[in-house]
Structure formats: C-alpha cells, structure tokens
Amino acid sequence: MACSSCSCAPAPQKPNSKFRTALWIALLINLAMFVVELIGGAYAHSSSLWADSLDFFGDAVNYGISLAVLGASLYWRATVALLKGMTMALFGLVVIGKVIYAYALGIPPEAMTMGVIGVIALLANVVCAVILYAFREGDSNMQSVWLCSRNDAIGNVAVIFAAIGVFGTGSLWPDIIVAGIMATLGITAGYQVVSKALSERRLQLEN
C-alpha cells in the first residue's frame, strides 16, 4: 500500500541545478536539430534523417518533461520516466513503419546532404551526451535523458556511414538499414527505462 503523508515516503529531492542547466542546453540543441533534419531529410529523401529528426523532437519533449518533474517525488519521476520509456519504444515502431514505406517507394536518398547533416547532428549529440554523462547513473528519469543522447550519437555515426554507403552504391539499402538500427536502439532503450521505472514505482508502493 502506498504511503501518502507518512514518514516512510522520502521527501522530494531538491532539484539539481547542474542537471537542470544540462537539460535546458540539451533541449535547445535538440529543437534546433529537429528543424534542420526535418527539412534536410525531406530534401534528401532520407529515412534515417527523417527518423533522426523525429528522435530529436521526441528528445526535446522528454527533456522538457524532465525539467517539469525535477522537484517531484521518486514515484512521480518514475511515472514520467515510464511514459518516456514507452514513447521511446513507440518511436522505434514508427521508424520501422517508415522503413517499410521507404522500401516500397524505392527512391535512393541524396548522399551528400545526408552526410553533411549527419556530421552536424553528430556534433550536436556528442555535446549533449558529454553534458549529460555525469547523470547516467541517477534515477530512471536521469537515465532516460542520458540514453536518449547516447542513442542519438550512435545513430548519427550510423547515418554518416549510410551516406557513404548510398554514395558508393547508389542504393537505398544503407539508409534503410541505418533506420532499422535506430528503431532497434529506441525499442531497447525504451525497455530499459520502462523496467527501471516500474522497479522504482514498485519500491515506493512497498514502502
């Protein structure tokens, strides 16, 4: 049975000012890159860039939500992390749908645009990952924002390799493969966050 006002429930943590600052920086970077990749992905007909743009947008929303619950109890932070984890997994499923659609169209993407935007996105995500690295071992809320940036950086490296593959072969397969990898990252990271969030919620209910 959950504790409401009893002493067994820990008081909400004081918001970490360093974590708050890191989230604001990551939020602004992700919003900017969402616009860049959305336009660039449409121009280049790239599934991986389009998928990454949605990922940037989803991360920006996640960072905003994380900012809103910094001062909340562990139970509510875990509840928000649970929703975020489910969103990350859902994003992976959406990307899989986009990959199938791109394969049906059969239009190879524009490799040069993919490569340039991929490098810019990688630099942006490396900055975010470095800023958030110190908080990777925190609660499920902190862990989720770290995983978002880590997955994005990995995804951007893959986009760059996909651009090289498209340039060398003229095929859309490298783009599709990378989009599939990004979908897998989203699903597995979402599972990790959901598992930890459920564990934290269960712990709070038992206390």
Give the confidence band of 140 by pLDDT, cuts at 50, 70, 90. Answer: low
* Mean per-residue pLDDT, 53-70: 78
State the pLDDT at residue 141: 64
What confidence category does residue 1 fall into, taking pLDDT thresholds of 50, 70 and 90? very low
For residue 90, being part of any structural domain is answered with yes
Which pLDDT score is estimated for 6?
A: 33
Task: Assess contact for 162 and 178: CB atoms under 8 A.
Answer: yes
Does some domain include residue 11? no
Q: What is the pLDDT of residue 32?
A: 95
Cα separation, 200 vs 107, in Å, equals: 46
pLDDT at 115 over 50: yes
Q: Where does the pLDDT of residue 41 fall: very low under 50, low under 70, confident under 90, or very high at 90 and above?
A: confident
Q: What is the pLDDT of the chain when averaged over all its residues?
A: 79
Q: Name the domain count of the chain.
A: 1
Residue 6, domain member (yes or no)? no
Please compute the mean of the pLDDT values over residues 86-101 and round it to a whole number. Answer: 82
Predicted pLDDT of residue 2: 37
Would you say residue 168 lies in a domain?
A: yes
Instruction: Provide the residue range defining the domain that includes 61.
Output: 17-206
Q: Is 123 exposed, middle or buried (0-12, 13-18, 19+ CB in 10 A)?
A: middle
Tokens of 40: 């660039």
pLDDT higher than threshold 80 for residue 164: yes
Task: Tell me which range, 29-38, 99-108, 129-138, 173-182, is most confidently predicted by mean pLDDT.
Answer: 29-38
Three-state SS annotation for the chain:
CCCCCCCCCCCCCCCCHHHHHHHHHHHHHHHHHHHHHHHHHHHHCCHHHHHHHHHHHHHHHHHHHHHHCCCCCHHHHHHHHHHHHHHHHHHHHHHHHHHHHHHHHCCCCCHHHHHHHHHHHHHHHHHHHHHHHHHCCCCHHHHHHHHHHHHHHHHHHHHHHHHHHHHHHCCCHHHHHHHHHHHHHHHHHHHHHHHHHHHHHHHHHHC
What per-residue confidence (pLDDT) applies to 92?
81
Residue 7 in domain:
no
Residue bearing the bigger pLDDT, 28 or 23? 28
pLDDT in tens, 147-162: 777 777 777 888 898 8
In a domain, 93, yes or no: yes
Q: Is residue 3 part of a domain?
A: no
**Domain membership flag for residue 5:** no
